[in-house]
Chain A
Amino acid sequence: MGYHCVVLVKQVPDTKRITGQAMNEDGTVNRAALPAIFNPEDLNALEMALDIKDTHGGSVTVVSMGLPAAADILRDALYRGADRAVLITDRRCAASDTLATSYILSCAVRRLEPDIVLCGRQAIDGDTAQVGPQTAEKLGLPQLTYVEQIQKLDGQTLVARRNLGNGWQEVKTTLPALLTVVDSANEPRVPRALRLMKYKSAKCRIEIEAMAKDAPSIDVEAVYAALESKGLLIHQWDLDYLEADLRWCGRDGSPTKVHRIQSVVLTAKESKAVEPTQQGIEAMVHELIEDHTIG
């Protein structure tokens, strides 16, 4: 029978590796100084989709909204087993909050007519976990958040186990549905050598145009057609193609605005050095008893 899975993925700065150089003087983050990576839980979502394909057949389409550089993670998804990649890139997407982002993503997902939409629970740059549920709402789909395992999939129904932090829940829903996937779900497979050989030349239009800039002999349309015929094209969609209502995109479509950004300063409070000796420790314990902190 087979299922068409659409996986929503995001390229994020590697917030685990933030160092001094990555912070601007004004306390904002210099994204350019951080390595860009595949959002970790989106890899778990991709793995779950590939697993569905391996077990039941069907296909996997990965979709990302982002800068042209996000084509990197789409290629990565192709190396790991995705069949088709779509990049939504458009200057008018800039400054989108989660509401505008989910609106734009929902326009793209609608075109793809999936049986199952999967995304990571949250992205490590914002940690909001909002885009999944909001995209589900826009599409009018049931949402299953924090999915750890798909237990049953037969035609029209899906049974999944949700991880609720302090327990779990087993739920059943009808397809199509949207799932957000947690990192404990699986161990994402690594890129495969054969697929890497095949898909490393996969490109989107903007990348072909950039190539042609450096080497004017390149005929953009010819390269485009050649990649398309070999199944190596990363589809590139903009807001016009999506027929998106611009009032709901970008800054205009985003009710939340940034009031201010501060870097985290570690506040030095009044403090005492305590000698690491029995005497020093006893004096401290005495003080804590005196002021009723302990005892």
Chain B
Amino acid sequence: MIEVNKQGEVWIFAEQHNGTLEEVSLELLSKGRELADTLKVSLAAVLLGSQVGGESERLGHFGADKVYLVEHPLLEHYQTNTYAKIICELIEKHKPQIVLYGASPCGRDLAPRVASAMKAGLTADCTDLQIGNHEIKKTGQVFENLLLQIRPAFGGNIIATIINYDRWPQMATVREGVMPMPTPNVNKKAQLIQEPAHLSLEDLAIEILAEHRQQRKVNLKASRVIVAGGAGVGSKENFKLIWDLAHCLGAAPGATRAAVDLGFIDRDHQIGQTGTTVRPILYIAAGISGAIQHQAGMSESQKIIAINNDPDAPIFNIAHYKIVGDLTQVIPMMIKAIKEKV
């Protein structure tokens, strides 16, 4: 635990695998930039690894003012204990006021270990972060410029805003895909600060015997247009309509959890609270009721077209274009219209 420190920097944990930064770390820089500017402090990225210094330049391009670089052969592969140890040491030394991690499998493994060792607070899986004040109603005491950590809870049925005012740093993991990717500025240079790592073999609590990473079958986050199908599509055969419409729009096919569970399409395509979060220019939702958990992953889309034969389906509440009708008729009409016009 560190004392409340209003001059403290805003930090993001720069997650890398095999020397390449993860997208979520760059997304964190956009939000981190905003928070640091509001607080008028520096934004720093913390980069750990073995021979990863090359990536520090990119962190600068994406918005970091500083990069704390810690390189050591034992940091080559992410391991909870070694990474947590180094990060705790850096926090003790530099006393940042905010530390953000991606809510990736790695970030969600690391952040709680650090929080526990620091006896600091941690909020998981935030979908938004803001700076604001908090008043304790009973005493009237006001804490200014705290990190408001906003996240869905209770299976997405409520939105909770969490704060910590007395035991710092304020830490959160942030959902992948909810923060926009910053536009890189190749002229922006981050100050590079190399920090030592005191590690020995005893610090390794586990041994990695084998690892396999597969490419996702679809890159939903990078798609400008997404055509998503739900349980209402009816069958795997009918789901071909979704693929066809996606194909003629150059779009990526997405799905609800119900559609995935029914075996219509692979889980990589799932959008929502337990799937991918997307913010495309156009989102076409066909045969999707619009459950809160699905909306959590797509409500930030710029335009939404909903096709549903139930006029009361909740998806219509957030749709810009509402088409009440049977998707097996509407989608072929759309394909025809697009082929004629585009």
Contact = CB atoms under 8 A, between A and B. Distances in A.
B86 to A, nearest CB: 15
Contacts of A15: 154-155, 157
A99 B121 CA distance: 7
A133 B112 contact: yes
A278 interface: yes
Interface stretch (A79-87, A223-231, A263-271): A263-271
A152 to B, nearest CB: 10
DSSP class of B's interface residues: helix, strand, loop or mixed?
mixed
A136 B115 CA distance: 12
A16 interface: yes
Interface in A248-295: 248, 254-264, 266-278, 280-282, 284-286, 288-289, 293-295
A272 B304 CA distance: 11
A262 B163 contact: no
A133 B113 contact: yes
Interface in A210-260: 248, 254-260
Nearest to A125: B154
Contacts of A278: 333, 336-337
A124 B162 contact: no
A15 B158 CA distance: 11
Given A271-B321, A281-B337, A264 B159 contact: yes
Contact of A255 (B111, B119, B329): B119
B201 interface: no
Contact of B154 (A29, A166, A277): A29
Interface string A11-35: 0010110100011000111000000
A35 B117 CA distance: 35
Nearest to B296: A264
A91 to B, nearest CB: 20
Interface residues of A, number: 79
A255 B334 CA distance: 53
Nearest to A135: B116
A94 B160 CA distance: 18
B282 A288 contact: yes
Interface in B109-153: 109, 111-113, 115-117, 119-125, 132, 134, 146, 148-149, 152-153
A15 B167 CA distance: 30
Contact of B121 (A138, A142, A256, A277): A256
Given A98-B112, A276-B325, 10 more contacts: A29-B154, A134-B116, A159-B209, A166-B214, A166-B216, A257-B134, A262-B161, A263-B159, A266-B318, A269-B318
30 contacts: A18-B155, A28-B158, A133-B80, A133-B116, A137-B112, A146-B105, A146-B109, A165-B105, A167-B211, A169-B210, A170-B211, A255-B119, A255-B164, A255-B166, A256-B149, A256-B163, A264-B156, A266-B290, A266-B318, A268-B318, A271-B316, A271-B320, A271-B322, A274-B305, A275-B323, A278-B337, A281-B334, A284-B321, A294-B225, A294-B342
Interface of B: 1, 80-81, 84, 104-105, 108-109, 111-113, 115-117, 119-125, 132, 134, 146, 148-149, 152-167, 205-216, 225, 249, 281-282, 290, 292, 295, 299, 302-303, 305, 314, 316-326, 329-330, 333-334, 336-338, 340-342
